[in-house]
Amino acid sequence: MTNIRDIFISLFGSKPILSEAPGRINLIGEHTDYNNGFVLPGAINKKARFAIGLNKEAVFRFYAADLDKHYQTKTIDRAPIEFSWANYLLGVLAQFQKAGKSFTGIDCVFDSNIPIGAGLSSSAAIECGFAKGLDRLLLSDIQPLQLVKMAQKAEHEYAGVMCGIMDQYASVFGKNNHVLLIDCRTNKHTYVPFQMNNLSIALCDTKVKHELASSEYNIRRQECEQGVSILQQLNPDIKSLRDVDTKYLEMHKGLFRPSIYDRCHYVAIENQRVQDACRNLENSDFTEFGKLMYQSHDGLKNRYEVSCKELDILVDLTKPMESVYGSRMMGGGFGGCTINLLEKEAEEQFHQTITDGYKSQTGMEPDIYFVELTDGANVIPDEP
């Protein structure tokens, strides 16, 4: 990664505030966050970093160092599509403005080593890292949960993706050697120890992102909302799919179109899997934890219908490998990464087997990353 501090000084002639925020993985609990359910993410050691300062020019000047792209504007309006990355920053600025924070002009240099489009929440890292630095720059003293919500709103309003709260939450609240059990109804979390020791977390990037990813994500949200509307006719106390289990759904299966029923059934059982997974971690039972990962992928593939051929190939390649505990697609779907839990000593073998198998079936070589759990967004102490 580049020296963003020096780049900032050379571009803008002043000393910046430095901040950073990590990408995230989600061990289990996919598409449950926007249904007020449970998720089990963790922050990882791939990050977006920022150098931020005020200017007196009444202009917003951004430089994406890893892309070598500049964007400048005098208004906090959505940027043109060719500068889509700037919308994450503009969206955060808009939230600070709505919160009554005053500023005339902002300069920012940033870079990231989080793979884009791989389902590791590079956008949330950009939003949260920028928000963390901006909070220090403006001496706003905004509480972490509020920063999370502001970053999420930036994604909704400026990127047009109606994401749940998990990505931004994990990027801000991440903790070294822990995952977070997040209750997305209350926006509260507990830390679950995850001592990796002899374990490794591998991310296998399909290197594809099918065009329907964003649109189908929003459709799945709508389908879940339709399911809740049907259930509320039976019981007005049902506010989200968090409030029902699979037995209740099966009792009233005839009320649903098959696709709506499948979406609701997946969410209900995935919420239970997250809680079971936490007990497995507490007992260091990684065999059972891995089984839940495979079950989660099966549900995402067949019930929620957000997987794709490339993701399924990567998961299927792991099944004969004794060193792998579990594997599943991670993120919104239709491309991106699988997440895999395996024995650390088998990393090299895993890399070779997955690379060879995926290339033989798709003609592509996957990008494979071994990641560690790390702390969330923070301000970086500057050099003396």
| Single-letter amino acid code for the residue at 367 | D
Per DSSP (E only), the strands in the chain are 17-26, 38-39, 41-55, 60-64, 69-73, 105-112, 178-183, 188-193, 199-209, 324-330, 335-343, 367-371, 378-380
State the sign of the Cα–Cα–Cα–Cα dihedral 374, 380, 383, 384.
negative
SS3 of residue 314 by DSSP: helix
> Which of 33, 107, 111, 167 does the annotation list as catalytic?
167
DSSP state letter for 132: H
| Cα 135 to Cα 61: distance, rounded to the nearest angstrom | 18
Q: How many residues does the chain have?
A: 384
Q: Return the C-alpha torsion angle 155, 156, 162, 163, nearest 10.
A: 30
CA angle 282, 283, 286 (to 5 degrees): 100
| Active-site residue, 111 included | no
Query: Which are the contacts of 164, defined by CB distance < 8 A and separation ≥ 6?
Result: 32, 33, 34, 35, 39, 152, 184
E-strand stretches of 185-280: 188-193, 199-209
Determine the longest span between alpha carbons in the chain, in angstroms.
68
Residues noted as catalytic = 167
